């Protein structure tokens, strides 16, 4: 080691050498970027893969956001979680974890706790995976807003803010939603 501040290191362990999966940790202090160890070094040189697949890790984050949003009662936390679902799309291809996403987005304590609580197994909250934008979008396709007057607005999550104009009314706590388009179908349903 020539420099204590810039080095690469890896530690792998296994219960038995003959059978089982090796589990390890990789540190890359030569990488200037904060995304983690250089992918080429981990996957090509060490010939290692992450324990969690992109699809599984990304889906866990999407489901946790969905559960946290459903369980949140504070409108500010709900809005923060909606915003997080949009901002997280910029992480495509990055090695991350749910915990790192929460920290990097600087979510409030309430929103962070809601997401952490949504993980059935707490160890998965800190497990790393490569984020997949398309998998995330596939898990959270639609966004709905239910109003106190009985109206429910639903649109694709990726385009919700483009197709529905949301404005706060001046002298009240109310919100105005505006959209326009051609009617393609109408339905009566027994439940929401």
| Whole-number Cα distances in Å, 192 to 19, 75, 128, 146 | 51, 20, 36, 10
- Looking at the predicted structure, is the pLDDT value of residue 114 above 60? yes
pLDDT confidence tier of residue 25, bands split at 50, 70 and 90: low
| 168: Cβ contacts below 8 Å, ≥ 6 apart | 174, 175, 176
User: Which pLDDT score, from 0 to 100, does residue 23 have?
Assistant: 65
User: Which pLDDT score, from 0 to 100, does residue 98 have?
Assistant: 92
pLDDT confidence tier of residue 40, bands split at 50, 70 and 90: low
pLDDT confidence tier of residue 118, bands split at 50, 70 and 90: very high
- Looking at the predicted structure, is the pLDDT value of residue 34 above 50? no
pLDDT confidence tier of residue 190, bands split at 50, 70 and 90: confident
Helix, strand, coil percent content, the chain, rounded in steps of 5? 40, 20, 40
| Greatest mean pLDDT among 17-21, 41-45, 47-51, 130-134 | 130-134
Residues 30 and 9: their CA atoms lie apart, in Å, by 10
Strand partners, 165: 178
Tens digit of each residue's pLDDT (9 = 90 or more) over 149-188 = 888 888 887 788 888 898 888 877 888 889 998 888 877 7
Angle, vertex CA 10, rays to CA 29 and CA 103, nearest 5: 55
């Amino acid at each position: 080691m020539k420099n204590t501040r810039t080095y690469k290191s890896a530690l792998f362990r296994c219960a038995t050498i003959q059978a089982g999966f090796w589990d390890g940790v990789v540190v890359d202090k030569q990488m200037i970027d904060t995304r983690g160890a250089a992918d080429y070094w981990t996957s090509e040189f060490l010939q290692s893969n992450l324990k969690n697949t992109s699809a599984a890790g990304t889906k866990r984050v999407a489901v946790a956001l969905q559960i946290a949003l459903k369980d949140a009662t504070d409108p500010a936390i709900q809005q923060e979680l909606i915003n997080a679902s949009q901002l997280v799309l910029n992480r495509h291809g990055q090695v991350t974890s749910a915990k790192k996403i929460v920290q990097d987005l600087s979510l409030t304590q309430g929103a962070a706790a809601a997401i952490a609580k949504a993980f059935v197994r707490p160890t998965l909250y800190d497990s790393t995976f490569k984020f997949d934008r398309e998998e995330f979008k596939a898990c959270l396709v639609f966004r709905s807003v239910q109003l106190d007057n009985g109206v429910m607005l639903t649109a694709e999550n990726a385009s919700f803010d483009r197709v529905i104009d949301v404005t706060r009314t001046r002298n009240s706590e109310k919100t105005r939603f505006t959209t326009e388009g051609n009617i393609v179908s109408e339905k009566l349903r027994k439940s929401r």
